[in-house]
Amino acid sequence: MNVRTGAGVRSLARIVARDDGRGGTSLPVLESDGPLALRRTRATGSEARVMLVGAMSGPLGGDHFTVEGRVEEGARLSVGSAAATIALPGQAKGEARYDVRLDVADHGELHWLPEQLISAQGSDLYVTTRVELAPTARFVLREEQVLGRVGEEPGRLTSRLTVRVAGQAVLDQELACGPGAPGGWDGPAVLAGHRAVGQLVVVRPEFAAEPVAATVLGEGASVVPLAGPAALVTAVAPDALRLRRLLEEAFASLPRA
């Protein structure tokens, strides 16, 4: 479905994970499309693993990428990416879009752990991530944004993340940064000069009865219970490496699953 038009590339990649009835997870749908290439890698236990491999560069101006992931009842899937995604300016005018749609059925589990999204100078990307979880679904999502490559000004990046459990939004946030974003994005209320910002969302049914305790890790990260069976880590750091360390440290502080 990968179509190159004057306006940029449109491509749609799809993953469906299904309980194979023998204690494992099968992938009846694993559709790559143009720049979005999906590879099944070695499973661990009952969990299927998929790597998103950037066959071309990341989204350029005018491109519209969509990734859809569905985990059916009782299936377990972990998705990572082989490298960071770099948003670059394109020849086509206008913003690029990257939409991620995730859906996890009851007793299903999805770990969505891509590498960083790097906003290169001159790029303009709008990312939306929409997650629909059934009441007993389990879910982990990591989102890391790096503003500019080393020593470079960032492009414009807007990212909206919405997570629903049983139809009810437990998290709905949009962060806009870079040149052209509404004012103050780099100021003391929002990023204060930090060049890496990330979130880790963890949804587990047991958090409804036993929410995580709110804690902070220094001045750059917090772990909080959301209004629902979910926890959120928010972190800012000077660079991607220190951001990843903060998110990992925060994740390790959560009760064991």
Partner 1 sequence: MSRAALLVLADGRFPAGGHAHSGGAEAAVKAGRISGAASLGEFCRGRLHTAGLTAAGLSAAAALGIDPVALDRAADARTPSPALRVAARKLGRQLLRAARATWPSAELDALGREFPKGAHQPVVLGLAARAAGLGPVDAAYCAAYESVSGPTSATVRLLSLDPFDATRVLARLAPELDRVADRAVEAARKAVGEGVDALPAGSAPLLEIGAEVHAAWPVRLFAS
Interaction site with partner 1 (CB under 8 A)? 160, 162, 168-176, 182-185, 187-192, 197, 214-216, 219-222, 224-227, 232, 234-236
Nearest to partner 1 of 48, 243 (CB atom): 243
HSE, CB side, 13 Å, CA atoms: give it for residue 206: 5
CB of 3 to partner 1, least distance (A): 28
Nearest to partner 1 of 121, 128 (CB atom): 128
Nearest to partner 1 of 121, 162 (CB atom): 162
CB 65 within 8 A of CB 57: no
- CA-nearest of 199, 193, 162, 163 to 177 is 193
CB of 56 to partner 1, least distance (A): 31
CB 196 within 8 A of CB 147: yes
Strands 76-81 and 109-113, by their bridges, are parallel
Return the residue matching tokens 């004057």. Answer: 6
- Write down how long the chain is: 257
CB of 129 to partner 1, least distance (A): 12
List the structure tokens of 226.
Answer: 């959301």
Nearest to partner 1 of 134, 190 (CB atom): 190
List the structure tokens of 56.
Answer: 């071309």
Nearest to partner 1 of 96, 171 (CB atom): 171
